[in-house]
Amino acid sequence: NAGVTQTPKFRVLKTGQSMTLLCAQDMNHEYMYWYRQDPGMGLRLIHYSVGEGTTAKGEVPDGYNVSRLKKQNFLLGLESAAPSQTSVYFCASSRDSDIQYFGAGTRLSVL
Amino acid sequence: SQQGEEDPQALSIQEGENATMNCSYKTSINNLQWYRQNSGRGLVHLILIRSNEREKHSGRLRVTLDTSKKSSSLLITASRAADTASYFCATVTYNDYKLSFGAGTTVTVRA
């Protein structure tokens, strides 16, 4: 079982460039989440989804968009990257309000 | 805003000693969870305690919950070098499924 897989693992962007982070889960979970983690801070929720075709804003959604076209995939997009978006991004999935399963993270640097 | 706050921010102990960290939160919760994050890795779920529970054990882990004080503690007994990690508490409020994380406690276990 792969669990939650994030691609890519590392990425360097220039200011203004765009990119998409992919999250895939093989546990048939309804709920999926995107977080960012900055030094000395816990995880902050960017966007989440409660099922295929649905998305909702989290705590820090500005500058990001998401899509959940297939139940197993949750995409996070940055249309015009900014240095403030330099962070480690984590995807997670869950069956309900209990345990969340996390991917290994994507380290993004925006220069 | 983040719901939980961990204390202390950092903890250094000798192998074999116990490690205790605390989490305080602001609003009523459905459940509280503890996660571990090893350096450069994703978060791993450790234990979940529901609002109607006061104590829970899992191996060398003991979690307590005091809803009247809106606080929880995580005790790791007989620590090992492999316990070196950051530990995060996360809360789920009623009628919700999103986790709200604290900033974490960094635990270093010295050999």
> pLDDT value at position B97?
76
SS in 3 state form for B36-77? EECCCCCEEEEEEEECCCCEEEECCEEEEEECCCCEEEEEEC
> pLDDT value at position B62?
98
Chain A: closest CA distance from residue B63 (Å) = 16
Query: Nearest chain B Cα to A88, which residue?
Result: B40
> pLDDT value at position B4?
73
pLDDT bracket for residue A98 (50, 70, 90): confident
Q: Which residue has the higher pLDDT, A20 or B2?
A: A20
Residues of A with CB under 8 A from a CB of B: 4, 31, 33, 40-45, 48, 50, 58-59, 90, 92, 94, 96-105
**What is the average pLDDT across A62-73?**
97
B36 pLDDT higher than 90:
yes
> pLDDT value at position A106?
97
B97 contacts on A by Cβ (under 8 Å): 31, 50, 94, 96-97
> pLDDT value at position B83?
97
For residues A100 and B99, what is the distance between their CA atoms, to the nearest angstrom?
9
Helices and strands, number each (H, E), in chain A: 0, 11
Write out pLDDT tens, residues A16-54.
Answer: 999 999 999 999 999 999 999 998 778 999 999 999 999
pLDDT bracket for residue A1 (50, 70, 90): low
Q: Which residue has the higher pLDDT, B97 or A52?
A: A52
B66, amino acid identity:
D
